[in-house]
Amino acid sequence: MNAVWTIARRELKALFDLPTAYILLVVFVATNDFLFFRQAELYGVATLRPMLDLLPWLLLFLVPAVTMRALAEDARSGVLEVVLAQPITELELLLGKYVGQVLFLWIALVLTVAIPLGLTAGSHPQWGVVIAQYVGAGLLTLGLAGVGVWASSVTRNQITAFIAGVAVMFVLTFVGLDPLLVGLPPRIGAIAGALGVLAHFTGIARGVIDLRDAVYFLSLAAVFLVLAYFALMRRRLTARGEAIRRLRLGTALLVAGLVVLNLFGRHIGGRIDLTPGKAYTLSPATRRILAHLDDLVTVRLFASAALPPEVAFLKRDVDDLLRDYRAASGGKLRLVVADPSADTAAARVARTLGIPPVQFNVVGRGELQVKDGYLGIAVQYAEAVKTIPFVRQASDLEYRLTSFIRALTRKEKPAIGFTIATDRSGSARNRTYNTIREQLEQNYTVRAVAVPDDSTPLRDLKVLVIAGVPDSVAQSQLARLQAFLDSGGGLLLLASGMALADQYPLASARPVPWNDLLRPYGVAVRSDMVYDLASNEQVAMPVQFGQVLVSYPLWVRALSTKASPVNAEVDAALVPWGSTIDTAQATPGTVTPLFVSSRAAGARQSEMIVQPTQQFSRDSLARRLLAVQVNPAAKTATATRGRVIVVGSADFASDRYVRSGEGGAVFVQNAVDWLAQDEALIAIRSKDRSPPPLVFTTGALRDAVKYGNVIGIPLLLVAVGGVRLWRRRLITQQVYQPVARQVA
């Protein structure tokens, strides 16, 4: 190992003694950072995914450019024979060269760490995910560096080594993509997809270090290092001798074994989940529900053996999750896996359970092809069944499965009431909440309640959801609602203090009758409208040649305080035309802020135009409170009033806006669970895998982060490289002077 490390240090030093190294680093960092910030400004979230999506393609040229001289130059100049004449082996030389190249490539990756550090100025990056992503990038370079060293070992020409390295890495990067696999038999296409680097790199880039992906990259490096070792040994062995035959056989067996390990190692267990809240690991709530099952639950997975690569990778997540379910159930969950594409009996069962084949459109070779496949799940308990006809994503699969199991095994669903209040202006005439009601119906019995017209008791309800603001509420109705709260019922109120005109882009202040109901809690909805100049959504505006996206400050991208189980795993939610919440009269310790604006927010209290092209005042900008949670029992042990959550927007969670993001939908479901004091599914549903929003308080700060990375880091590299090369030139220009002997 001392010899390997000595060679690696010499190789790394030799790289930095040449101008080529600094040129490569400057080009890589500048290109990577420029492409990242170009995409990050469009995404508006603090994530490294734009960089990681392009990283394999940048490494496609960087790695061969770095490794092309590793062995080819030594072989051309005759240095290789001189080095091997020293007391080191071919294996030590090869590993030393390889480690030196990998260290240089890792230094290139370290230079990009300035990106997530810069993002902290406008967000709170998920550092666990960032660490996993850099581990994945390090493993990717580890594997590709093996390819580059092999290419340098088979030729004496650096350009030839560069071209060979790019060609092989190009194939490894492209293999598994549908445009290349169209026309291949399904099983051969599945094998080819498993050998590509993108699927394995994407798995780690999401924040989960899976042992199978790590084994793939390590074995990729090992395969090409074995081939490089064969190329080195072949130089000094007789072409037809026994030694070369044994070497050839050993090399073939090692390469075949490593390939087989990746093709059939799908059952290798072990992963490190570094995502916030361990989004890819079973929640404690799921484990409790599975551990207390009264009877056998059967989960049927209908999956085709041959699926497109992106769906095949999703199937791997599904397989892992279902195995975790079976292990956590203690034998109470039976897992049945069938392939309807190859089994007619399984196809009939799938159709009976409502799981049809799904067609995949695949573009390639100048034509559009259609592939049929299955990836559906059915959960059966006694005579009841719930199905997922096709699993399109793994992000919400745990919640859906656990809620299915809980709903099937539960004796009776709690009831909640839902009412939509309207006023004379008709501003709520087209406001619907069908999406959120359908989601709530998975675990509750949702009933339509007429408020304020109805007079039926609310005793059988656990939670009442009120969306909208009427012109007035009779005292008898307020007393009815007050009695509901005093009996321990929960209230989710979605109300704003400004009314939107039905036909004109105007909003005017109005009183909020629900404030009389909220007075005992010390909170109220103000008659104003919040605008946020930094954290907001964009809308499409027509122009002469199409449409452009412009910021709409009245659609606030509210930031989560993460101060409650209701919003602990929710980063942000859209609050359109929201009003501030007044908590000045609340008992200290009973109110928990849930959503707030950024510091660049203001509020209008008079009639205003709600078009995005208007001018918004920059006076009195401050953080505004948009949603609160009130729990009277938190400070008063004898209080009988129920829990309350207030959101200052009547349009929050309506069908028009809930589809804009998952934050609002998850929040409402969590809120109902908390209000019903039935919080088993909150931790599961709140596994928000979306990155936090990226909001810079000023444009100058945003530009400083952007250009500090795109221009500052490359200039720093130029300065460091210039100083080092200048000092090296001075040393080489010194005249040799022998040491004078001292005369006795």
Give the Cβ contact number of residue 438 at 10 Å.
10
Per residue in 119-166, pLDDT (tens digit) is 888 888 888 888 888 998 999 999 999 999 989 888 888 899 999 999
Say if 388 falls within a structural domain.
Answer: yes
Residue ending a domain, among 273, 298, 331, is: 273
pLDDT score for 366? 46
pLDDT band at 452 (very low <50, low <70, confident <90, very high): low
Over its C-alpha atoms, the chain yields an Rg (Å, rounded) of 32
Q: Which residue has the higher pLDDT, 554 or 173?
A: 554
Q: Are residues 419 and 370 in the same domain?
A: no
Mean pLDDT of the region 283-300: 87
Q: What is the CATH number of the domain that holds 335?
A: 3.40.30.10
Q: Are residues 234 and 360 in the same domain?
A: no
Q: Are residues 299 and 424 in the same domain?
A: no
On the question of pLDDT at 732 being above 80, the answer is no
C-alpha span between 22 and 65 (Å, rounded): 12
Q: Which residue has the higher pLDDT, 243 or 213?
A: 213
Q: What residues make up the domain containing 615?
A: 415-677
The closest alpha carbon to 394, from 451, 316, 317, belongs to 317
pLDDT score for 289? 87
pLDDT score for 144? 92
Plot region of 35 (φ>0 → left; ψ -120 to 50 → alpha; else → beta): alpha
Q: Are residues 240 and 365 in the same domain?
A: no
Residues 462, 414 contacting (CB under 8 angstroms) = yes
* Average predicted confidence (pLDDT) for the chain: 82
Mean pLDDT of the region 486-492: 90
On the question of pLDDT at 410 being above 50, the answer is yes
Q: How many structural domains are present in the chain?
A: 3
Say if 685 falls within a structural domain.
Answer: no
Q: Which residue has the higher pLDDT, 84 or 598?
A: 598
Say if 718 falls within a structural domain.
Answer: no
Q: Are residues 219 and 323 in the same domain?
A: no
Mean pLDDT of the region 277-291: 81
On the question of pLDDT at 638 being above 60, the answer is no
Give the Cβ contact number of residue 394 at 10 Å.
19
Q: Which residue has the higher pLDDT, 495 or 724?
A: 495
Per residue in 500-557, pLDDT (tens digit) is 877 668 888 889 999 999 999 999 999 999 999 999 988 877 766 667 778 899 999 9
Q: Are residues 329 and 437 in the same domain?
A: no
Residues 491, 642 contacting (CB under 8 angstroms) = yes
Per residue in 555-568, pLDDT (tens digit) is 999 999 988 888 87
Residue ending a domain, among 226, 242, 273, is: 273
Q: Are residues 177 and 292 in the same domain?
A: no
Give all strands of the β-sheet with 506-509 in edge-to-edge order. Answer: 498-500, 506-509, 608-609
pLDDT score for 365? 44
pLDDT band at 739 (very low <50, low <70, confident <90, very high): low
Per residue in 687-730, pLDDT (tens digit) is 656 677 777 877 788 888 888 888 999 999 899 888 888 887 77
On the question of pLDDT at 110 being above 90, the answer is yes
pLDDT score for 431? 79
On the question of pLDDT at 363 being above 70, the answer is no
C-alpha span between 699 and 553 (Å, rounded): 16
Say if 633 falls within a structural domain.
Answer: yes
Residues 232, 94 contacting (CB under 8 angstroms) = yes
396 CB-near residues (< 8 Å, 6+ apart): 685
Say if 719 falls within a structural domain.
Answer: no
Q: Are residues 379 and 465 in the same domain?
A: no
DSSP-derived pairing of the beta strands 415-420 and 463-467: parallel
On the question of pLDDT at 669 being above 90, the answer is no
**Among the ranges given (299-308, 625-634, 636-645), the one the predictor scored with the smallest mean pLDDT:** 636-645
C-alpha span between 242 and 24 (Å, rounded): 44
Mean pLDDT of the region 180-187: 54
Per residue in 6-28, pLDDT (tens digit) is 888 888 888 888 888 899 999 99
Q: Are residues 551 and 610 in the same domain?
A: yes
Q: Angle at CA 382, nearest 5°, toward 380 and 385?
A: 35
C-alpha span between 138 and 238 (Å, rounded): 38
pLDDT score for 723? 87
Say if 698 falls within a structural domain.
Answer: no
The closest alpha carbon to 7, from 103, 139, 141, 73, belongs to 103
Say if 710 falls within a structural domain.
Answer: no
Residues 573, 664 contacting (CB under 8 angstroms) = yes
Q: What are phi and psi of 92, to 5 degrees?
A: -65, -40
Q: Are residues 338 and 460 in the same domain?
A: no
What are the DSSP calls for 612-664, one per residue? TTS----TT-B--EEEEEE-GGGT-TT-----EEEES-TTTT-HHHHTT-HHH
> How much of the chain, in percent, has pLDDT values that exceed 90?
23
According to DSSP, residue 87 is labeled S
Per residue in 220-272, pLDDT (tens digit) is 888 888 888 888 877 666 566 666 677 677 777 777 776 776 666 555 667 77
256 CB-near residues (< 8 Å, 6+ apart): none
Q: Which amino acid is at 463?
A: V
Q: What is the CATH number of the domain that holds 429?
A: 3.40.50
Q: Are residues 240 and 308 in the same domain?
A: no
Q: Are residues 507 and 623 in the same domain?
A: yes
pTM of the entire structure? Answer: 0.61
Residue ending a domain, among 381, 407, 433, is: 407
Say if 652 falls within a structural domain.
Answer: yes
Name the CA dihedral angle for 130, 133, 138, 139, rounded to a multiple of 10 degrees: 150
Residues 492, 465 contacting (CB under 8 angstroms) = yes
On the question of pLDDT at 179 being above 70, the answer is no
